[in-house]
Amino acid sequence: MDEKKFLDSLVPEYITSDTSSQIRLMRDLSIRIFKPYIQREGIALELGSEIGYMSEKIAELICGIDIVDGSEEFLDKVKQRNIMNAEYFCSLFEEYDPGVKYDYVFMSHVLEHLVDVRVILSKVKNEFLHMGGYLFITVPNARALSRQLARHMGFIDNLYDLTENDIRGGHRRVYDRITLNRDIENAGFEIVAQGGILFKPFADFQMEQLIDDKFLKEEHLEGLYKLGNEYPDMCADLYAICRIKN
């Protein structure tokens, strides 16, 4: 299948993602972690927009943002948010040629979707990111406690197998910290900070129900966030903040 058609086929899976309390929580925590590294006068590139919840949050922190996605349908959803300091480009990442370099590049839940991670990270390093700028990455975690629980319950045989949810979401691989670090470092980046986002004992739909039913209150969610700092390998997502290696 043509890659752009493949991306368009994923739109129904993500169309309501910003109504999900679990997904909003994860995106908000990502921004909380990244914010200390971001200066207002900076210019950002977001590779992969989904339907724009993260785009909107990033745009609030900076001077301007260029949003690139291979799906016109995804971009149409982002445009409905009327982000005043954003420009939009429908392009595969391999083909995007901005003619400028950025202070920040955001790849939120992107690496697991790519056909060739090395090609895109090389392009980020050589064409997209200023020397001294930051690359922000988040990916789902193969070793999340919820995934380990699913294995012991017999729902999956291997933590690194693609589940039905992974396939439905267009994932092509599953990362742990070792494999994520390897891809980042092999591409010529150094990791400034890394860790896990949200200690996650249950599946997304279960976490969402617990949040929506107010069983998990703000203090519980804050506790799970802080617990994730102690046990990053059991978190829902992994993050890495990177710079080009000198």
**What pLDDT does residue 1 have?**
58
CA atoms of 31 and 26, how far apart (whole Å): 9
For the stretch 120-141, pLDDT in tens is 999 999 999 999 999 999 999 9
Q: Is the pLDDT of residue 18 over 80?
A: no
The whole domain housing 88 covers 3-244
For the stretch 180-216, pLDDT in tens is 999 999 999 999 999 999 999 999 889 999 999 999 9
Give the residue from 194, 203, 199, 204 showing the smallest Cα distance to 226.
199
Q: Is the pLDDT of residue 14 over 90?
A: no
Number of domains present in the structure of the chain: 1
**What pLDDT does residue 165 have?**
86
**What pLDDT does residue 115 have?**
92
For the stretch 145-155, pLDDT in tens is 999 999 999 99
- Whole-number Cα distances in Å, 161 to 8, 141, 194, 234: 24, 12, 24, 17
- Whole-number Cα distances in Å, 155 to 45, 158, 233: 38, 9, 20
Give the residue from 116, 139, 125, 115 showing the smallest Cα distance to 45.
125
Average pLDDT in the chain: 94
Three-state DSSP class for residue 128 = helix
pTM attached to this predicted model: 0.95
Report which secondary-structure segment, H or E, holds 167.
helix 164-168
For the stretch 148-177, pLDDT in tens is 999 999 999 999 999 888 998 899 999 999
Is residue 52 a contact partner of residue 78, using CB atoms and an 8 Å limit?
yes
Report, as an integer, the average pLDDT of 29-33: 97
Query: What CATH number does the domain containing 116 carry?
Result: 3.40.50.150
For the stretch 67-85, pLDDT in tens is 999 999 999 999 999 999 9
Report which secondary-structure segment, H or E, holds 102.
strand 102-108
